[in-house]
């Protein structure tokens, strides 16, 4: 097991099981996340015999960075995991800070037809520590502070719910990575029971929904998850979420040429989100060599945008990052398995 997979509460319980004190857990947490040690031998305020037991029980080993690709304001990292699998994470430099797009699984079972990441079926969930270390290692490699995290990389976060929640607790904790809850966003394709569970967490973390279609027929064609949880159920659970959290929801909407970018789709979308505390994030499609969908023209994108604006829907068009290094939205996928 890896030490970066433990929340502070779990670490406190662990120290108590050793016959030690809770405050040793807080000390170790500080060494890990504030002082950024790489070896237990660097710790000076916990007894040696206790640390020897901790080292037997929990490794402090990192992931391995295999490759770094750079584009304007973006870096893509390819990580090798201990079992030989690979994942990717993307750093994006904004005027408000550094944002990291984190992966949550090796592969993905959701099968969204337009998504490169989902072409490889899920191999396994990432462990909590494998998610935490994506942040720690990139901060160390680039000598920067990551201020924002989006769990939108490879995988469906809510299909790895328990590890996701622990990851969020660690990076949000003031003694952990101390990333503000409102600077963390989790994106899901719409697993209704997990959205309901997420709404009951005492965290002010942002929720984004991969929508991409305004009606069930089209969304089921694009996103198999809609057959299990159609729009009526999705919108209903989001109303519950809004009532419980008073947090605005983001809808992500990738515009596909001739598929979901028509005037009628825009008008349907306005009706679907009417009276919801939300905004729409329109995403120009990032084409890939393996998938036939094409991006909408800028004329059509602006036409779609204008319809939403005229209907008083909060809407933005996402700034594009990293398409030249396959680091843009929907393009993440380790190419190692194709070699």
By annotation, the residues acting in catalysis are 88, 329
Strands 86-94 and 97-101: antiparallel
Q: Measuring CA to CA, which residue among 90, 65, 87 is closest to residue 76?
A: 90
* Beta-bridge partner residues of 186: 151, 207
Distance of alpha carbon 291 from its chain centroid, rounded?
23
Q: Measuring CA to CA, which residue among 102, 92, 124 is closest to residue 186?
A: 102
CA–CA separation, 187 vs 150, rounded Å? 8
Provide Rg for the chain, Cα atoms.
21
Judged on CB neighbours under 10 Å (0-12, 13-18, 19+), 48 is exposed
Distance of alpha carbon 198 from its chain centroid, rounded?
14
Quote the longest CA-to-CA distance of the chain. Answer: 69
């Amino acid at each position: 097991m890896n030490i970066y997979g433990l929340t502070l509460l779990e670490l406190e319980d662990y120290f108590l099981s050793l016959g030690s004190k809770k405050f040793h857990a807080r000390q170790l947490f500080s060494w890990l996340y504030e002082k950024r040690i790489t070896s237990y031998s660097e710790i000076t305020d916990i007894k040696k015999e206790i640390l020897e037991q901790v080292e037997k029980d929990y490794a402090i080993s990192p992931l391995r960075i295999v490759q770094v690709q750079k584009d304007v304001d973006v870096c893509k990292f390819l990580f090798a995991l201990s079992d030989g699998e690979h994942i990717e994470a993307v750093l994006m430099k904004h005027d408000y800070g550094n944002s990291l797009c984190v992966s949550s699984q090796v592969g993905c079972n959701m099968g969204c037809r337009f998504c490169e990441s989902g072409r490889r079926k899920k191999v396994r969930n990432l462990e909590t520590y494998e998610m935490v270390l994506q942040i720690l290692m990139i901060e160390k490699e680039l000598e920067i502070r990551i201020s924002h995290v989006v769990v939108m990389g490879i995988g469906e976060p809510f299909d790895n719910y328990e590890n996701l929640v622990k990851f969020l607790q660690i990076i949000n904790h003031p003694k952990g990575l101390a990333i503000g809850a409102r600077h963390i966003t989790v994106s899901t394709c719409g697993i209704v029971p997990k959205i309901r569970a997420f709404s009951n967490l005492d965290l002010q973390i942002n929720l984004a929904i991969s929508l991409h279609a305004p009606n069930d027929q089209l969304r089921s064609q694009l996103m198999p998850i809609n057959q299990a949880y159609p729009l009526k159920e999705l919108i209903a659970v989001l109303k519950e979420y809004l009532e419980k959290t008073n947090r605005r929801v983001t809808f992500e909407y990738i515009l596909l040429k001739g598929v979901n970018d028509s005037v009628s789709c825009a008008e349907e979308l306005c009706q679907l989100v009417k009276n919801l505390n939300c905004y729409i994030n329109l995403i120009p499609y990032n084409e890939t060599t393996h998938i036939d969908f094409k991006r909408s023209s800028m004329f059509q994108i602006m036409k779609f945008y204008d319809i939403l604006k005229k209907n008083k829907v909060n809407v933005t068009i996402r700034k594009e990052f990293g398409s030249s290094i396959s680091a843009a939205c929907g393009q993440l996928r380790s190419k190692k398995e194709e070699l």
